[in-house]
Amino acid sequence: MKIKWLGHSCFLLTSDQGVRLLMDPFHADTSSGLKYAEVKEPVDLVTVSHDHFDHNNTEALPGKPEILKRPVDKIVKDISISGIPSYHDESKGSQRGPNIIFCFDVDGIKVCHLGDLGHDLGKDEIGKMGQVDVLLIPIGEVFTIGVDGAGNICDRVKPRMVIPMHYKTDQCDWLKYGLEDFIKGKTKVRKLSANEIEVKKETLPQQMEIIALKYTC
């Protein structure tokens, strides 16, 4: 399985069988400070954690991929998908609405994308996620959890691999925290020079490791 970071909270997951899954594609909008290149990848499947412009751009994609915007429990091609209801804020959605945590079983690996999670996770939500191998987690704080909340969730979920997302960069300067704020003081960190990593079940780290992918347009 390959995981490619396309900026912000958008990832392209490609299974060993060639199934392509896109998560949270954004509308590139320089007026709002989101300067990543618009995603126009051909894909089979798209998940949208919530209906905000920086997570829901399905119009630019070629072809007719299946689009999932609600909590589900299904298998699409060789990917098992479950959606867990959560919230975009700490007030059960009263401020910014609902959010979906999407979890995928791909090539024997469990990947969970937290979307714009805005609150701590409860035991019920963590139980539904199960044993997570790769956790895609927001850390920027503005409209989501920040570095402290993300760190607490990682400690409780105990994934084998953590990939930060939704943080302050040159292409998105309105978020509070950047990558360095999250990895400060942490020892098991691997900063890659590419925006893609290949993940295999047999080579997953035994202890939680933070993987920092590099955005390339």
Given this model, what pLDDT does residue 127 score?
Answer: 96
Strands laid side by side in the 66-68 sheet: 66-68, 45-47, 20-23, 10-14, 2-7, 196-198
206 within domain boundaries:
yes
Helix/strand/coil for 151: helix
CATH number of the domain enclosing 161:
3.60.15.10
Residue-by-residue pLDDT tens, the chain, 217 positions: 999 999 999 999 999 999 999 999 998 876 677 899 988 889 999 999 988 888 889 988 888 999 999 999 999 988 999 999 998 878 887 787 799 999 999 999 999 999 999 999 999 999 999 999 999 999 999 989 999 999 999 999 999 999 999 999 999 998 999 999 999 999 999 999 999 999 999 999 999 999 999 998 7
203 within domain boundaries:
yes
Query: Half-sphere exposure of residue 183, counting CA atoms within 13 Å on the CB side?
Result: 19
217 within domain boundaries:
no
Q: Compute the distance between CA of residue 106 and CA of residue 203 in angstroms, rounded to an integer.
A: 15
Given this model, what pLDDT does residue 195 score?
Answer: 98
Given this model, what pLDDT does residue 63 score?
Answer: 87
Q: What angle do CA 105, 109, 113 make, to 5 degrees?
A: 65
Given this model, what pLDDT does residue 30 score?
Answer: 66
158 within domain boundaries:
yes
Q: Compute the distance between CA of residue 19 and CA of residue 94 in angstroms, rounded to an integer.
A: 36
State which residues form the domain around 202.
2-212
Number of domains forming the structure of the chain: 1
177 within domain boundaries:
yes
C-alpha pair distances (Å), 19 with each of 8, 40, 209: 22, 16, 26
